[in-house]
Structure 1
Amino acid sequence: MARYSAQEVVDFVTGEETSSSDEDSVQPSSTTQEVEEICAEDEIFPSRKSEITWTTRAEDRAAGRLPARHILRTPPGPTRQCVSQAGDIISAFKAFLPRSIESIVVSMTNIEGRKRFTSSWVDMTTVELDAFIGVCILAGVFKSKGESVASLWESKFGRPIFPAIMSRVRFEQLTVTLRFDDKGSWASRRTGDKLALIRDIWDLRSGNLPAMYNLGKYDNLGTT
């Protein structure tokens, strides 16, 4: 067992003596300047069609004024128009799901329903569409993910509010027939538009959002 003098122990603990071999063997992975250069590089992410690009670093304001499109001139949140229309929960919800969108869903669902169920189909109305949406929201409120539809309507262990809104058979009918456009024209439209199945509703929604909600710094409502 090696023995050390008192001075050697002190030098070892205080680190005042370091062998040249140790100094040569320890090499920094990168200098501070190299790290700064790496962090300074912009990572640019283009969209699939290269029409939009994102960068990990904000524009350098020292280089000049920011473009007008990057300056928020209105406070984020619901617009005055939206606030004026929102008298209660339902009207606030309707501000973002206007009658124009509901009319398309009702019309296209009825077309599909007549094809699928022929004479036994009863046309859906906007009121029934609201009820259907309400049932879907309630299923989420009750944390029913993975639960069968039959159990929700079950007389003993189900939730009484579901059969009070509509029958299970009708709910299942609406589930399989719900459409957002004419299914018969899918083949011709999908070749040039990946959003063809919801294009009309998407355009209405995108056009309605700016009138209902002012974007904030970190908001992204998928309107681009």
Structure 2
Amino acid sequence: MPATSDDPSSMNQYSYEKEQRLLQHLMETVDTDEEYLDADSDLDEEPNLEQGEEGQLNHEQDDSPSRESSEEDIATASRNSLTFVGKDKQTRWKKISPMPRTTKTRSENIVKVLPGPSRLTKNFKSPLEIWKFFFCDEIINIIVVYTNKMIETVQASFSRDRDANFTDSEEIYALLGLLYLAGKYRASHLNLDDLWKADGSGIEIFRLVMSLRRFRFLMRVIRFDDKTTRQDRVKIDKLAPIREIFDLFIEKCRQGYHHSEYVTIDEMLLGFRGHCSFRQYIPSKPNKYGIKSFSNV
């Protein structure tokens, strides 16, 4: 007996094809009504037809099981091997790259550092710890030194010395904290008097940190470089007013986080409408005026 498949769909297809071949054989051999009746009786005795004719009928019946078994063999081989079989049942796709085992990976293609936080930052838990790593004490001290130099030049214009007192790192931290807090409350376009109001409509934490007079004074005199030598440095460096702090911040970024070996350099326009020689205007951007920066993505 020919082999059959356990799949019900394949068995139904096999029975249908067998009946079609049987009908075709009967139409070719029957010439009279008596022969048609004999053939009809032979239809009920299906095993006799399969064993009696050794011609085209048995030959065609043996083709379908062999084809089905070959497809099963291909599917089994695909599951047990490292290849995929295409829809045409002939094309094979390898699951791994056809690189010979004797070929060594080039040294420049070996990933030696995994992407993610470095050993210096991977144990940080709070946002304050992460912020203080990137804006380290060295950066804050630079701001304090250059701000005090600026305060020294303007002290003569104040009648009271307490209105132009020198600053320190703790006060600079407080000033930066208020600027972050104003951004959190979306108060960048509000009047400062509204933030420091004591009638209940203002934000109390602003009054508790420092007075409005002191805040305005620090925002006026805060500096990130030596103003007396800036003109000479601007001729060769457009980032001269923040170059020292900018380089320290970039170095902290390199120390605190490792990029993947596969990164893309993209650009973005940071909204800015102040005085800047390299400010750009791009009408298609949400912030049409700003500073274009490039970063890894």
Provide the secondary structure at the position in 2 that maps to 1:80: coil
Matched, 1:205 2:258: no
Per-residue CA deviations over 1:140-179 (Å, capped at 9, x if unaligned) read 1101121011110011210001011111111111101110
Q: Is the 8 A contact 2:116 2:259 kept in 1?
A: yes
1:117, CA displacement in angstroms?
2.9
Relative distance call for 1:71 and 1:97 in structure 2 (3 A) is farther
Q: Which residue of structure 1 aligns with residue 142 of structure 2?
A: 104
1:66, CA displacement in angstroms?
9.2
Moved more, 196-205 or 210-219: 210-219
Which structure 1 residue ranges, 4+ long, deviate > 4 Å from structure 2? Answer: 70-73, 218-224
The alignment covers a number of residue pairs equal to 158
Q: Is the 8 A contact 2:265 2:295 kept in 1?
A: no
Per-residue CA deviations over 1:112-156 (Å, capped at 9, x if unaligned) read 112123444211111111111110000011011210111100112
RMSD: 2.6
1:188, CA displacement in angstroms?
1.1
Q: Which residue of structure 2 aligns with residue 178 of structure 1?
A: 222
Q: Which residue of structure 2 aligns with residue 135 of structure 1?
A: 178
Q: Within 2, Cα distance between the matches of 1:178 and 1:93?
A: 20
Q: Is the 8 A contact 1:110 1:124 kept in 2?
A: yes
Unaligned runs of 5+ in 2: 1-104, 267-292
Relative distance call for 1:209 and 1:103 in structure 2 (3 A) is same
Provide the secondary structure at the position in 1 that maps to 2:120: helix
From 107, 113, 121, the equivalent of 2:164 is 121
Q: Is the 8 A contact 2:230 2:241 kept in 1?
A: yes
Per-residue CA deviations over 1:158-216 (Å, capped at 9, x if unaligned) read 00010111111111111011100011111111111111111111121122211111224
From 171, 185, 191, the equivalent of 1:148 is 191
Q: Is the 8 A contact 2:233 2:240 kept in 1?
A: yes
1:71, CA displacement in angstroms?
7.4
Matched, 1:74 2:113: yes
Moved more, 100-109 or 112-121: 112-121
Q: Within 2, Cα distance between the matches of 1:209 and 1:137?
A: 20
| Matched residue type, 2:182 | A
Relative distance call for 1:186 and 1:130 in structure 2 (3 A) is same
TM-score normalised by the chain length of structure 2: 0.48
| Matched residue type, 1:83 | K
Unaligned runs of 5+ in 1: 1-64
Provide the secondary structure at the position in 1 that maps to 2:243: helix
1:222, CA displacement in angstroms?
5.7
Relative distance call for 1:66 and 1:188 in structure 2 (3 A) is farther
Provide the secondary structure at the position in 1 that maps to 2:122: helix
The answer to which structure, 1 or 2, has the higher relative contact order (CA under 8 A, 6+ apart) is: 1
| Matched residue type, 2:190 | E
| Matched residue type, 2:166 | D
Q: Is the 8 A contact 2:144 2:167 kept in 1?
A: yes
Q: Which residue of structure 1 aligns with residue 34 of structure 2?
A: none
Q: Is the 8 A contact 1:206 1:223 kept in 2?
A: no
TM-score normalised by the chain length of structure 1: 0.63
Per-residue CA deviations over 1:26-80 (Å, capped at 9, x if unaligned) read xxxxxxxxxxxxxxxxxxxxxxxxxxxxxxxxxxxxxxx9994x87643333212
Relative distance call for 1:71 and 1:186 in structure 2 (3 A) is farther
Q: Within 2, Cα distance between the matches of 1:214 and 1:108?
A: 32
Q: What does 1:76-91 correspond to in 2, within 5 Å?
A: 76-84=115-123, 86-91=124-129
Q: Within 1, Cα distance between the matches of 2:187 and 2:136?
A: 27
Q: Within 2, Cα distance between the matches of 1:88 and 1:142?
A: 21
Q: Which residue of structure 1 aligns with residue 55 of structure 2?
A: none
From 119, 123, 132, the equivalent of 1:94 is 132
